[in-house]
Structure 1
């Protein structure tokens, strides 16, 4: 079975949300559930060896189902969040991650050696990621603490504005050039991440923010869960010019499984065929190169194709890629190795 290292999931958010309703997040992950997309039994069944697990602070439900007669929609940006309650939630999610580790459900990985050791031991290799930095202060004191706790990747914004920059709204059709980019605090954050060895994720930032990071960062450009705007013109997807910049930086784009980011019509329909995913993979490979395309599922954070269903269904996507002409070496790169390459670079590890 082809091992998959996935660049983005929201399993911690699902576990935190259910814990608030009385569920045991450790048991839910280790013993399994019918909810969501990821737990230990389904990860093992589908070959999901690990991934970047997001600490994400919710703004509540996002109404991307409000569409006009043509299927178009434009959801206003969620309001910025206050730092103090955001920090509390971030700490709660981190605590869930550590409790799962203590119970033997996964290994929190701080470098590629940890990832490889977890895989060899048959444990899920979890990398802590922060999706939107509402829990981080402008002076970056909290960044040092979260780094010490294991944070190794972050996105300066989710699809709302923070003290660090501006996010893209959920809109179709729309370009990602929807507003300003990094703030001065955001520029300091990018430099600090480069210095400390924290990967910077550009999945939710405006196009101007993308270019701000491209100018400032010394590391490969990483877009953990976005697709090709030329196929699906949603604001979250990447233009050809952005894809070219990712390639020039020796960076990476992770294929997002969200159906609204795969379909030409942007519809939120689970009956989206795997051929739509293959079309995006083919386009990304042609534009970025085989070394710059990976997986960024958005498991537990989006509606995904019913043919995959959850983490246990990953072999069906791998089979579709194989049927489309991708050989063993190419599958290994897209499914796992490209993520390890770019993370090693971001984390100051030797190639």
Structure 2
């Protein structure tokens, strides 16, 4: 299949920056030339029709905790979350990862762009440039006075999830728990509510994916922007704490927001288990439900590449055409495929960023 025949895919979430900073001597070169490790690098993106997406800055907890992958392969689990992180080391890692994306852009000599507007993304898709969005997953590196928020905004930050699953000064995330609903504890803190207002003022998109239910409704009350969950699925199909209830989906629809379907098998399967032998039809069940409850203009893809166990039938980013083919066989027409694969993301970002 030639590149001109590929359906373009714009993706709601990946963790390739985290993979690249872990012991890589030449991360920019490895990404641009291809290292065939993990799920993502530029040559495989080209092969799979991947035209851009949200590139997450995520500060991982230090030390050895439970083996999350092993626990999520069990019939039931409630994975202990790490404690809150300190600001200074979190800022150091945040700056390191943000700088890596900027260095990739510079080293690419025009093949990669950090996008700040929806027009940037549209132009990248037109010209074949990889469109990247600097995104934060868990705001441990943001100080209470939002000084680093402004520095990162100036560097291209346009999307932020206030929390990953562990708690921080801004709020409380949803744990990795199956079976469970998302109502697992307190929501945003007072400082977290200030962060939402600060993001609204700067037109930074707010990602709801790792917030618990109370935090979700706190954002819904405060924010004047579309409600967006970059990589989440339907709780009614997979009753995992990380997935969204129908009443949350209704609020997202009301706000003209967006949900990106997560490829992580634990959030796809009705049994909540990590298992790469998960048929693509199970993922498409989530798409159908989300389209029914959010609308065909409010659903996209949010892979979690390089951050999760995904169906073996996809494998890595080069396998995206197999997912598109499965969606086509399911009955989605070409106009619907374009919306789900890339158009909806660009449109919701235009509604959020105002440009």
How high is the TM-score relative to the length of structure 1?
A: 0.96
Structure-2 residue corresponding to 1:201: 207
Distance 1:4 1:113 in 2: 17
Partner SS state of residue 78, structure 2: strand
Structure-2 residue corresponding to 1:168: 174
Distance 2:67 2:73 in 1: 16
Structure-1 residue corresponding to 2:97: 93
Distance 1:332 1:119 in 2: 13
Q: 2:7 aligns with which of 2, 6, 24?
A: 2
Q: 2:47 aligns with which of 35, 45, 49?
A: 45
| C-alpha contact (below 8 Å) 2:73/2:273 kept by paired residues | no
Deviations 1:252-274 (CA, angstroms, capped at 9, x unpaired): 00000000000111111111111
Structure-1 residue corresponding to 2:283: 277
RMSD: 1.4
Matched, 1:64 2:68: yes
* Structure 1 segment 6-85 matched on structure 2, within 5 A: 6-19=11-24, 23-59=25-61, 63-65=67-69, 67=71, 71-85=75-89
Distance 1:136 1:147 in 2: 12
Deviations 1:198-248 (CA, angstroms, capped at 9, x unpaired): 000000001000000000000110000000000111110001111111111
| C-alpha contact (below 8 Å) 1:3/1:47 kept by paired residues | yes
Greater CA drift, 74-83 or 53-62: 53-62
* Structure 1 segment 161-240 matched on structure 2, within 5 A: 161-240=167-246
What is the CA distance between 1:65 and its match in structure 2?
A: 4.3
What is the CA distance between 1:64 and its match in structure 2?
A: 3.1
| C-alpha contact (below 8 Å) 2:226/2:258 kept by paired residues | yes
What is the CA distance between 1:62 and its match in structure 2?
A: 5.5
* Structure 1 segment 240-279 matched on structure 2, within 5 A: 240-279=246-285
Distance 1:127 1:65 in 2: 28
Partner SS state of residue 290, structure 1: coil
Distance 1:100 1:70 in 2: 38
| C-alpha contact (below 8 Å) 1:101/1:107 kept by paired residues | yes
Change (3 A) 1:224 1:62: farther
Partner SS state of residue 192, structure 2: helix
| C-alpha contact (below 8 Å) 1:66/1:73 kept by paired residues | no
Residue segments in structure 2 that go unaligned for 5+ positions in a row = 1-5
Matched, 1:292 2:298: yes
Structure-2 residue corresponding to 1:319: 325
Matched, 1:103 2:107: yes
The count of aligned residue pairs is: 346
Distance 1:69 1:210 in 2: 27
Distance 1:214 1:81 in 2: 26
